[in-house]
Structure 1
Amino acid sequence: MNRIIIIGGGIGGAATALALSRAGFEFVVYERAKELREVGAGIALWANATHILNKLGLLEEAKQVGYLTTNYQFNSQRGKELVNMAIDGFELPVIGIHRAELHQLLWRNVPSEKFILGETFERFERKNNQVHAYFVSGLSVEGNALIGADGLRSQVRAAILGNEPPTYRNFKTWRGLTDYIPNGYRPGYIQEFLGGGKGFGFMMLGRGKMYWYAAATAIKAQPDAAMGRKKELETMYQDWFPSILELITATDEANILTTDLYDRPPNQPWSQQNITLLGDAAHPMLPTMGQGACTALEDAYVVAKCLKEQSDPIASFQRYESLRFPRTKAIVEQSLQSGKMGELSNPLAVGLRNILMKVTGSAISSSFKSLHAYRA
């Protein structure tokens, strides 16, 4: 195989580049941004993802720049514990890490000439088993195979499967980063608080950073309130667990990001001959199970393994998709289910949900465990 073209240099694309590099392949990553950088948000790398970092030889470095997480706790909006899951029972740790730190860790370990920045993919053609990729700038390149790791609104996906828009899931999220550590924080914990039609969570990342996230039901593309993002959040969460307001107040407005939440109903195929998709381009999911970046890491490792085991990219991509589809479908559906639980706004329904969570704590815990016990 002479060369693999990767479109998109985010976490999925960078992980694919590293996995292919470790497997001895020729590849180049084309990224439309002018510089490689990830947004200021945190992620939890569950054991299924730290397994991949371990396989790629990055686990020790990730532990140094991340924070070891031991428990995942769900609470009512005022802070009454509903479920408390120990998540440190695996042979691999759970790590809270800044997206940018993870991104750097991946691409620092790939030769920089393998990343071509400022190139936006436009279309492709197939000629004699080769894929020719064309970019907006006029650049054209050829390879034996092409992997689209270009996110939720993937141009590669549109080129092979048609431009079907993703599905808006009635939620808007805010994410913040601060050095402030509230009094109510329990070291090692991811703490989530669930109210009516909204929720809030926070966790420690490495380097003394606290990451928090909020979600609330909203109409699509709902603009910020006139009072500004920070004031709006302070108003929304004023009567919640005290640490929540402390965290919002301690965060600079410039460090509060907002996004609408989308996914896609899981469908096959996501490959076409010698072209395939990976991460959000293939199976975008809601962040409720915290598995978006984790499944992208799994994809990257599995696609490289399939290419190594089978020299024909068409057969490799079919194998990759058949291995990945059942797992990612289950997680997309579970994440959506979880999101629907968060949409409840009637106080009675919220009360019932909270009781249900308390009662079924061990079932919730074991479903989480099976998700994280998976080893790609």
Structure 2
Amino acid sequence: MHSISKKIILIGGGIGGAATALALHRNGFYPVVYERVQELKEVGAGIALWANATHVLKNLGLLEEAKEMGVLTTNYQFNSQKGKELVNVPVDGFELPVIGIHRADLHELLWRKLPQKQFVLGETFERFSQDKNKVRAHFTSSLTAEGDALIGADGLRSKVRTELFGFKPPIYRNFTTWRGLTSHVPDTYRPGYIREFLGRGKEFGFMMLELGRMYWYAAAKAPENQPDAPMVRKKELENVFQDWFYSIPELIAATDETDIIKTDLYDRVPALPWSKQNITLLGDAAHPTLPTLGQGACMALEDALIVTKCLLEYPEPTVAFQQYESQRFSRTKSIVEQSLLSGQMGQLAHPITVKLRETLMKLMKPAITDSFKSLHAYRA
């Protein structure tokens, strides 16, 4: 192994940034994460960590703890708006488990394994400068940090991306999503199941998290940036989903108003480059995707492992980041495109096209099952 003492600056302390910092730290690098918020925390939502993601957790030495903090998932069930099963996909056929976990629990699991001094909070990235083989990050507080490489893990509207390639807004995909958390468990919950319901231009799903917490998510076609008052989100959802499968309005009614989060959905057309010399992008900063395949955080975890492996194999960060791009682009492009297609299918609203979609899903069950297997069989 070559001499490893490189300082890697990471902008953004979310799941992707924290996982990358931990992977680098475990392999002898000196990562320092700069995060603009004053307190490290993730929003109140759940995620499914598919086998491609739990593979990363295993490599980071976190899998057993993640299993204790989450709930094992065995099936992904697609249903009609009224609750009729369309497709039931087993997802427990891999050598690694699928885990439903709260984002905040996963985030804490990642960052608590890193020395506290390597997380710098309350610093907003402004720009970078490059000098020979060094890079400097400049922050709005006038702080300057110097390192051997810089990784932008600062999300959908990445400032590092803008500084690298100029401002280009992400693409709104005509969908708004709501996410909620409640202690109410409907009598239709099936242990190990993620249940998703598809209607006319709308979707709803729910899954169990640890400690009896039920996480649910909803999506509907909507104009971008609709005026929103947090204290009417619940009423709005109750109206939208009032005639759906009975457990759905039941879950909404059981959720506290403050535990409902509303977010417009965006992505970008997959494109390279992500890097310039000793600076690169990771996670949503590089390849934002719609959440329809549940792969956003999973891809960020994959990125963390691959970029670390490339930095280990290639001592020069510029070369390492080129290799990282070449190894990751095809995979991430495919997922972004599949997620968009899935989202477009979910936007179908005419009764005839919705009925056709349901018929096709039943007929295509083997193909859908194979697609799940292929997606989750990837090992970074």
Confirm or deny a common fold (TM above 0.5). yes
Of the three residues 186, 195, 203, the one matched with 1:182 is 186
Taking the TM superposition and a 5 Å limit, the aligned residue runs for 1:85-104 are: 85-104=89-108
Residues 7 and 31 in structure 1, CA contact (< 8 A), matched pair in contact too: yes
- Secondary structure class of the residue paired with 1:334: helix
- Residue 11 of structure 2 corresponds to 7
- Residue 295 of structure 1 corresponds to 299
1:203 aligns with 2:211: no
- Residue 173 of structure 2 corresponds to 169
- Residue 65 of structure 2 corresponds to 61
User: Number of aligned pairs?
Assistant: 376
Q: RMSD value over aligned CA atoms?
A: 1.0
- Residue 36 of structure 1 corresponds to 40
1:310 shift after superposition: 1.0
Residues 7 and 146 in structure 1, CA contact (< 8 A), matched pair in contact too: yes
- Residue 82 of structure 2 corresponds to 78
1:62 shift after superposition: 0.1
Once residues 128 and 377 of structure 2 are traced to their aligned partners in structure 1, the CA distance between those partners, rounded to angstroms, is: 38
Residues 178 and 210 in structure 1, CA contact (< 8 A), matched pair in contact too: yes
Once residues 101 and 75 of structure 2 are traced to their aligned partners in structure 1, the CA distance between those partners, rounded to angstroms, is: 15
- Secondary structure class of the residue paired with 2:212: coil
1:137 shift after superposition: 0.4
Which stretch of the first structure deviates more once superposed, 119-128 or 257-266?
A: 119-128
Residues 220 and 260 in structure 1, CA contact (< 8 A), matched pair in contact too: yes
**Alignment TM-score, normalising by the size of structure 2:** 0.98
Of the three residues 299, 317, 335, the one matched with 2:321 is 317
Which 4+ runs in 1 deviate beyond 4 A?
none
Once residues 159 and 54 of structure 1 are traced to their aligned partners in structure 2, the CA distance between those partners, rounded to angstroms, is: 34
- Residue 121 of structure 1 corresponds to 125
Residues 230 and 257 in structure 2, CA contact (< 8 A), matched pair in contact too: no
Once residues 161 and 334 of structure 1 are traced to their aligned partners in structure 2, the CA distance between those partners, rounded to angstroms, is: 25
**Alignment TM-score, normalising by the size of structure 1:** 0.99
- Residue 306 of structure 1 corresponds to 310
Aligned partner letter, 2:186? P
Aligned partner letter, 1:337? L
Of the three residues 267, 272, 275, the one matched with 1:268 is 272
Q: Deviations over 1:318-370 (max 9, x none)?
A: 00110000000000000000000011110101000111111101101101110
- Secondary structure class of the residue paired with 1:228: helix
- Secondary structure class of the residue paired with 1:207: helix
Once residues 75 and 132 of structure 2 are traced to their aligned partners in structure 1, the CA distance between those partners, rounded to angstroms, is: 53
1:208 shift after superposition: 1.3
Once residues 98 and 232 of structure 2 are traced to their aligned partners in structure 1, the CA distance between those partners, rounded to angstroms, is: 35
Taking the TM superposition and a 5 Å limit, the aligned residue runs for 1:281-292 are: 281-292=285-296
- Residue 236 of structure 1 corresponds to 240
1:227 shift after superposition: 7.9
1:109 aligns with 2:113: yes
Q: Deviations over 1:133-174 (max 9, x none)?
A: 100000001111000000000000000011100000000000
- Residue 374 of structure 2 corresponds to 370
Of the three residues 244, 259, 266, the one matched with 2:263 is 259
Aligned partner letter, 2:364? T
- Residue 140 of structure 1 corresponds to 144
Aligned partner letter, 1:98? H
- Residue 332 of structure 2 corresponds to 328
Taking a change above 3 Å as real, the CA distance of residues 37 and 227 of structure 1, as seen in their structure-2 partners, is closer
1:241 shift after superposition: 0.6
Once residues 374 and 226 of structure 1 are traced to their aligned partners in structure 2, the CA distance between those partners, rounded to angstroms, is: 39
Residues 149 and 279 in structure 1, CA contact (< 8 A), matched pair in contact too: yes
- Secondary structure class of the residue paired with 1:319: helix
Of the three residues 1, 25, 29, the one matched with 2:29 is 25
Residues 225 and 232 in structure 1, CA contact (< 8 A), matched pair in contact too: no
Residues 230 and 258 in structure 2, CA contact (< 8 A), matched pair in contact too: no
Of the three residues 206, 218, 224, the one matched with 1:220 is 224
1:235 shift after superposition: 1.0
1:226 shift after superposition: 9.8
Once residues 223 and 37 of structure 2 are traced to their aligned partners in structure 1, the CA distance between those partners, rounded to angstroms, is: 29
1:224 shift after superposition: 3.1
Aligned partner letter, 1:148? G
- Residue 363 of structure 2 corresponds to 359
Taking a change above 3 Å as real, the CA distance of residues 184 and 113 of structure 1, as seen in their structure-2 partners, is same
Once residues 35 and 212 of structure 2 are traced to their aligned partners in structure 1, the CA distance between those partners, rounded to angstroms, is: 30
Which stretch of the first structure deviates more once superposed, 221-230 or 28-37?
A: 221-230
- Secondary structure class of the residue paired with 2:58: helix
